[in-house]
Chain A
Amino acid sequence: MAQKTKNNLPSPDASAEVVTHIGSGTRVVGRLSGQEDIRVHGTVEGVVRLGAALFVEPEGVVLAEVWAHDVVVSGTVVGNIHAENAVVLTATARVVGDLRSPRISLEPGAAFRGAISMDPPDVEALEAEASASRGYGASRSAAAPTVRGAISERQAPANGETRRAQAPARTQQSSVRLPPRRAQAFTAAPTRAPEPRVWAREPVRPAQRLPAAPVAFQPAPFQPSSFQPAEDDTIIVQHAAIRSSDDRPRRRTGALPSDLAAERTSDLAVGAGDEPRKKLARPKTLARGKHKVERVD
């Protein structure tokens, strides 16, 4: 394209196949929002709020807080990234900041420093951020579609659901597998800990249940709060059998022994603890002491 051609620029009419892209010699400082994909080859500073995908190309630089539906980074990003669907850092990505999205993947070669949390983006923060600015077209995407999108995302693949459900089910209070009566009694009990591990895709709001989740999923004990950071004492499993016989404060896995005892009979190929946990006698511990290797007979 010659230098000063008078408006011989391609795609004269709007819409159609206009692909928004920020050229490599362009710098945008401020707030960038919209509902279509953006490819950044240049520099963007400030805030990005997109209802679609943001692609940061290898030569692109984004120094901004990014809220988008999908974010694919092949360039440089300094700032937190919140995505409703997925964040992908490719091999040439250089990211410093926190990532928050239900799906996050770092490809080999990506450089990243920051925190990762696989939760749907914080709705309150999004709304606050939207109202903080004079959201133009972006305001309509503020709360509702964000949450909806996050929810639908969670409910999407059935097999993924089962996999996720099984994993937390295993680590969840073993009562999940017990007959309901006992389960209820048990789950009411837990003294310590907070919840069993709540994985990212678990609903942020209690109302949302994973539809394909196996029956065993007990909604009651489930706290919708997003994941408690592993600060400490996430008691994964506590079984009545253990608590009764071993009062030593257990840091985490309470169910170690009974877990294994139960697993004895179950197939371990998939997530352990699928079978109903019977109340089994505790396996003999070979040696008491700081370091204990428990053998399951």
Chain B
Amino acid sequence: MLLWRMRQSIRMAGMAWPALVLVLAVLLASCSPAMAGETRKGSDFRLKGIDGETYRLSDYTGKKVVVLSFWNISCKPCRKEMPKLQEIYEALGEKGLEILSINTDGPSELSGVKPLVRRQGYDYPVLLDREQKVVKLYNPRGILPYTALIDLEGKVVFTHLGYNSGDEIELKKRILELLPGEGGEAEEPAAVEGEDDRG
């Protein structure tokens, strides 16, 4: 109960709290790999897809380059981005790229997700993050769309907030840099277990 009551007890007048939190943020950021010019590992997660399969990010480590794309139905820029991701997937899906499209709509809106995906013919897996667990890990403010590119070692090497025309060009360039045989320095990936089941 101590933690629960902390919220009330630390509300104190006369302190420059945002400044203190900012200082804490800088200190924490200074510990992060990004601060040291490195990349960080993508937080692992497990989500169910609209195809009924369960997807875990760590299953792709060492096997595929992964794009995480967060979206919801009412996000207009997201809808513009989806066909562009499909084009990238068609071009690079068999060369070691996986796109995990993560829908963040709540349970009340769930009925609309699968019809949209099936009708418009998106082949990449669409995962349901209806309790907002994963989007909070990668993009805590929840601003959509949000994209994270994860290399074969499972490290987040590129992130992007929002979508504007042309953003897919930079994303594709970054993916190609990571794919073996496409200009990337990575070694040939191993096959993902059970990937045939994932449609």
A and B co-occur in one complex: no
